[in-house]
Chains A and B, each alone.
Chain A
């Protein structure tokens, strides 16, 4: 690099974005994750995101790491240091770097000057050359290239080698040969960088900002929530981005749910032939008194809708975890969206409404999955946990999982053989407590009492066949009452008051959370104040109406095109649409604080004008 032409350089400590441009299937993912974890181990929060194609090998893939001592875990946007390892995407990758940023690339093959930019710092390292000279095995040549650049980056950013070595030690426990070769490759990279590259103005500095938080993806967290929440039947069909959830459930169960006395499994998992069968199986299991769940994504929910209608009317507890992605089936399976809200809230034929929970991070994926299993039993109805690819498939820093050993499962209103024997009146669809929730019996309970025939709506309160209008009305009105009862049982909204009194509010939910929190601070710094409410469930609690009533304008921030949740607020709560301006992000990438800040600031200023 010619010193005279050296451009201005971004200088930052613990606050920058590194992006890796790789080829899918090249083994880069584990090296990139290693890099992210090393920063975490230095006490500096990171927020990584996989940006990957629907492909196993060959297509471009990116891994973006936001290093953020301040703890902003949303996607920032922009790139300060690009590690460009994929010639296919070179031009766009180089273009994406912020002015004053850095480009790190494999310089084994010379590139013409026209392929670079003059306003960034370019750092070449002959990775392929070094690997070819060091390793004879083709696979090693490829894999250690990734470790080599981690080593080089660790020098450039002033990271501690010991931290990375420690991670290797944990990863390759009992596989000393692998441990040694990885440590060797790391130092090969470090030595080259020390000699030929040196430090850049981006620095990772040891801090103490991670605390006791854990680093986990939402799919694993939700799977663990299902284990702790007592799910014993899981039926599923593979679909990105939810497959790893069912697989995580399987692997946790193998470790945690095997009866020590018999070696037999306290769970049953079936990979079904399609989503119709997977939901059918959990309907059967729920009907028969086991806690059952499925994990799926939008196209899967579409296939499940006939069953969802039956489960709603026949009042069968089931839990569905929808890891949302872009639609349709050949849409954007590896991109994130919150675009199944309407499809799930009103899934199926006839007048149906379903419970939705909106976790904000892996910790809430765990909590909501366990809560959903309780709610499904209590309310005898399908419950959706609405996560998305951004939370589901990316590791996220979050509070540690918690469990109280005294916690009992809420199995809801189940009439026992003793109660039936004592002559207690049993009407399967009878509202005995005024909360709209009837009693049920499990099949096989009592020799002569409590048996009933389950069907859709052609029955009266005692489950006897009836097509009479009054019986139908009694039933669907009771279902509405039950939905009203649900409002008080679901996770309640979380309010965050503005620093100054304001007539503006904002509603948001799910994976938007970290970007929203960052945006609120940025807006406050611009003297733009908003009270914020994070919705955690549908049906909407009464406090949502109170919140909206307390403000002139309430922005609704969503990651879909049609402002789906806003539409539900308008319809369910009869709010005048003009009071709910939309802030919508739906290009498949996670929403950013920059986007929210700009969009809200613009609208607030426009609306504040006389």
Chain B
């Protein structure tokens, strides 16, 4: 399966999106991950979301750290520039890249070892800074590439494939990102594409630090009885707070849900999210409420999914820094060098 090259020819009847591209234009190389890996479903959801959003593939920069999840940017958006950086340090590279050119869409792909263990510092700080990005954490609670060690998101009491029981407290990346100031927070499940694709689309439209934690079972090392990140466990314990429909700005909004069940969330760019609320008491604009809700349901062993928090008026790092609209990487000596006359004045003051 993974060693077979994909045929290059496109079927003429494949549907094109508004930027005249078919879904195939959003694909990457053939995945080298294990068959059934949750990460491949996430890649497929990213492809679908980008195609449906009419994103131009070359206007995306996809960055990752090190690990199974971090290999995946090679498997989608083959025409985009990608950067497989350093273990746990994707957030800093993404931040710098974003500073250099604010006009691209930044996709950060990471895993639980990458973000919650070695990279928890950079994970926290990139959220604090409000870097405009879509940060996807493919969370399987385990180190796959090094064969089955626990990561920091593994639940206390969960069992590794070798039978070892994890005694450390897990890090809940959702709660952490909320606390650190991310302005769009969602959790999905790689096995539920219906819920996941609209979440990714909404995150792309969001301006600010958008974080999606996606529970993504590891079929090789964390899909056995006793694991809390297996397909079976998540399906049994999934507690979806809402289902999103994502409506781009130019389309007519058609609400087909009964009043009281659906709320409209208008995003900064004019796009609208329709949240089909599964829980009447859940308000995604209430940060403290979200924290409580997540903590309460987590204590009950439930995996809360859906759009958990969104701040539509979020400011991003460039707004904080008051940077010029033109990408910094396009500025020439004319903008950057203050010139000889200014230097002569400086010299004069230093005498």
Residues of A within 8 A of B (CB): 210, 212-216, 224, 227-228, 230-233, 235, 256-257, 259, 262-270, 272-274, 276-292, 306-307, 310, 314, 400-405, 407-409, 441-448, 451-456, 465
Contacts and interface: CB of A to CB of B under 8 A. Distances in A.
Interface of B: 29, 56-59, 61, 63, 73-74, 78-86, 89, 91-101, 103-104, 121-122, 124-125, 129, 317-318, 321-325, 328-329, 331-333, 335-340, 342-344, 346-347, 350-351
**What are the 9 tightest A-B residue pairs by CB atom distance, in nearest-first order?**
A284-B96, A280-B92, A290-B100, A443-B81, A281-B96, A289-B329, A288-B100, A284-B93, A284-B97
Most buried by A among B129, B318, B337: B337
B100 A454 contact: no
Contact of A407 (B61, B103, B333, B342): B333
A290 B99 contact: yes
Given A310-B86, A451-B58, A233 B343 contact: no
Contacts of B323: 264-268
A187 to B, nearest CB: 25
Contact of B336 (A266, A405, A454): A266
A586 B125 CA distance: 38
A272 B322 CA distance: 17
A281 B93 CA distance: 5
B96 A448 contact: no
B101 A443 contact: yes
B79 A454 contact: no
B186 to A, nearest CB: 25
Contacts of B317: 270
Given A235-B92, A289-B100, A403-B337, 4 more contacts: A214-B351, A280-B86, A290-B99, A400-B350
Given A228-B343, A447-B58, A310 B85 contact: yes
A11 B349 CA distance: 34
Given A215-B351, A230-B336, A277 B121 contact: yes
Contacts of A279: 92
Given A233-B328, A276-B92, A403-B339, A451 B350 contact: no
Given A232-B331, A266-B324, A310-B85, A285 B99 contact: yes
B58 A453 contact: no
Contacts of B84: 453-456
B331 A266 contact: yes
18 contacts: A232-B331, A233-B96, A256-B342, A266-B336, A268-B99, A270-B129, A273-B121, A282-B96, A287-B96, A287-B100, A288-B329, A290-B101, A307-B86, A400-B347, A443-B80, A448-B79, A451-B57, A454-B81
Contacts of A288: 61, 96-97, 100-101, 104, 329
Given A215-B351, A403-B343, A453 B92 contact: no
Contacts of A257: 336, 338
A492 to B, nearest CB: 24
Contacts of A265: 321-324
B339 to A, nearest CB: 6
A190 B155 CA distance: 76
B99 A307 contact: no
B101 A444 contact: yes
A513 to B, nearest CB: 20
Contact of B347 (A306, A401, A405, A454): A401
Most buried by B among A215, A216, A230, A451: A451
B335 A228 contact: no
B339 A285 contact: no
Nearest to B128: A273
A262 B324 CA distance: 8
A425 to B, nearest CB: 17
A273 to B, nearest CB: 4
